[in-house]
Amino acid sequence: MSRRCEVCGKGQVSGNNVSHSNRHTRRKWNANIQTVKVTEENGTTRRAKLCTSCIRTSRKVQKDRKARNVESAI
């Protein structure tokens, strides 16, 4: 299972835990990847692994598209 966002490619990064006595131990940070249903342009739905920031952005884009459709209908 890959822990990588399918949209932006955000994934695991590594670094050090640093204790008060300045001992360094390796650690990893995982991106917040969630499995979500995605509707494609041809109407089919599939499951995709996206980071939470991309999920948030896609919701904003959907909202914006809806608003534009309302404006064009008026």
Question: Binding segment for Zn ion among 21-29, 44-52, 55-63, 66-74 (CB under 5 A)?
Answer: 44-52
Alpha-carbon span 64 to 10, nearest angstrom? 24
DSSP state at residue 26 = E
Query: Of 33, 49, 51, 55, which lies in the binding site for Zn ion, with binding defined by CB under 5 A?
Result: 51
Q: Which is nearer to Zn ion, 7 or 38 (CB)?
A: 7
Question: By CB under 5 A, which span of 4-12, 21-29, 36-44, 57-65 interacts with Zn ion?
Answer: 4-12
- Reduced to 3 states, what is the DSSP secondary structure of residue 71? helix
Residue 43 per-residue DSSP state: S
